[in-house]
Amino acid sequence: MVRVSSNGTGEREARPLLEVIRVSKAFGGLMALMEVSLRVWPGQIKGLIGPNGAGKTTLFNLITGTLRPTSGDIRFQGRSIVGLPPYRIAALGIARTFQNVQLFPGMTVLEHVLVGGHRHGHSGMLEAILRAPRMRREEEAARARAWEILERVGLTEWADHPAEGLPLGLQRILEIARALAATPQLLLLDEPGAGLNPSEKARLAELIRQLHQEGITILLVEHDMSLVMGLAEEIAVLDYGRLIAEGPPEVIQRDPRVIAAYLGEEELPHVARG
Ligand SMILES: Nc1ncnc2c1ncn2[C@@H]1O[C@H](COP(=O)(O)OP(=O)(O)OP(=O)(O)O)[C@@H](O)[C@H]1O
C-alpha cells in the first residue's frame, strides 16, 4: 500500500515503519491483547489510548522485546522482530520511555544520556581495559553527542545535577533524552505527561513536536486527552485488549465506542463531545 507520509513533506512512503499484525498476548488465563493490528507510518505521531488495563504498556513491552507475543507478528521496517532480545530491537532503532520514570540513582543528567548512547561504542573489552586511544576518542565523541542531545531537549544547565533531584517534568524529558541517545527511528513514549503540571506538559508537547519535525516517528501512550489529541495525527484505541477504533483525533473523540469505553473510568478524560 502506498500512502502519503504524514511528516509534512508530502513524499510517499511505501511501507509502514512498524506493523503489529494480529498480535495476542495471554498472561495465564488473561488475554491482555487480542488480535491487535496497527501500523505506524514513517514520520507519524500516532496516539495509543485506552482505559486502565487496556493493554497499552503490554503492547510496548511486546514491541521492545521484553515480552513475546502469544501469537501474531511485529515487523519493523518490514522485518519481523518477534523473538529478538531487547538490545537487538533497540539497535534496530526502537527506543522507549517508561510509565514510571526509571532513572539511575547517583547518576548525573549527562551520565544518563551517555548510558543511553552506549550502543554506539565499538571498543571491545580488552581495549576498554587498556583504555586504548580508540576508546578515548569514542568517549569524547559520546560526550559530545550526549551534550548535543541535552541542548536539543534544553537540559544543558542541568548536565551535572543528579537526575533524581530534577523536578518530575525534567525527569521525563531526561528519559526522552536518554532514549534519543540511541538515535531511534521509532520512539515509544509511555504516558510522558503523567503527573506533570500544565506548564511541564506544554514543554513536553513542544519537545514532542520538535522531535516530530526532526523526523522521528512517535508512538504515544497518553491518558491526557488534550495532550494526545493535540499531538497525534492518528489515534488507536484499545479496550480490554482489543482495538476498538482507529482514526484521526476529531473522529476518535466522537466515536461512541470510545466514549462508552471511557464511561467506566472514575475520571472522564477531556473527550470533546458534540
Ligand atoms: N506481567 C503481567 N502478568 C500478568 N498480567 C499482566 C502483566 N502485565 C500486564 N498484565 C495485565 O494485562 C492487562 C493489560 O495491562 P497493561 O499494563 O498493558 O494496560 P495499560 O493499558 O498499559 O494500563 P494503564 O493505562 O493502567 O497503564 C491488565 O489486566 C494487567 O493487569
CATH code of the domain in which 246 resides? 3.40.50.300
Residue 89 domain-assigned?
no
Question: 94: which 3 cell numbers?
Answer: 526502537
Q: To 5 degrees, how large is the angle CA 13–CA 14–CA 17?
A: 75
Cα-to-centroid distance, 180 and ligand 1 (Å): 26
Cβ atoms of 211 and 191 closer than 8 Å: no
* 110 and 45 belong to one structural domain: no
- The answer to whether residues 54 and 101 belong to one domain is no
Tens digits of per-residue pLDDT, 74-113? Answer: 999 999 999 999 999 999 999 999 988 888 889 999 999 9
For residue 33, being part of any structural domain is answered with yes
Which of 183, 206, 223 is the endpoint of a domain?
183
Residue 149 maps to a domain: yes
What distance in angstroms lies between residue 168's CA and the mean position of ligand 1's atoms? 24
Specify the pLDDT at position 5: 46
Nearest CA to ligand 1 atom 11: 32
| Same-domain check for residues 78 and 193 | yes
Residue whose CA is at the smallest distance from ligand 1 atom 9: 58
Q: Which residues of 33-50 are buried (b: 16+ CB within 10 A; e: fewer)?
A: bbebebbbbbbbbbbbbb
Ligand 1 pocket test, candidate residues 56, 63, 242, 267, most atoms within 8 A of CB: 56
Of 114, 171, 172, whose CA–CA distance to 144 is shortest? 114
65 shares a domain with 51 = yes
Instruction: Quote ipTM for the complex.
Output: 0.97
Higher-pLDDT residue of 124, 69 = 69
What number does the ligand 1 atom closest to the CA of 238 have? 21
**128, 200: one domain:** no
Residue 228 resides in a domain = yes
Confidence of residue 120 (pLDDT cuts 50, 70, 90): low
Q: Which range (113-122, 147-156, 238-247) has the least confidence?
A: 113-122
- Whole-angstrom CA distances from 7 to 44, 46, 75, 225 are 6, 12, 21, 22
* Domain assignment of residue 137, given as a range: 94-183
pLDDT in tens, 121-168: 555 666 666 666 777 787 888 899 999 999 999 999 999 999 999 999
203 and 80 fall within a common domain: yes
**80 lies in the same domain as 211:** yes
The last residue of a domain, from among 183, 216, 232: 183
Q: How confident is the model at residue 209 (pLDDT cuts 50, 70, 90)?
A: very high
Whole-structure pTM value: 0.87
Q: Is the pLDDT of residue 11 over 90?
A: no
Report how many domains make up the chain. 2
Look at 72-86, 105-119, 194-208 and tell me which has the smallest mean pLDDT: 105-119
With 70 as the cut, is the pLDDT of residue 273 above it?
Answer: no
Dist. CA 40 → ligand 1 center (Å): 22
Whether 239 and 218 map to the same domain: the answer is yes
Atom of ligand 1 nearest to the CA of 60: 18
Residues with CB under 6 A from ligand 1: 27, 30, 32, 50, 52-58, 99
**227 assigned to some structural domain:** yes
Q: Could you say which of 143, 161, 183 is where a domain stops? A: 183
| 159 Cα: distance to centroid of ligand 1 (angstroms) | 34
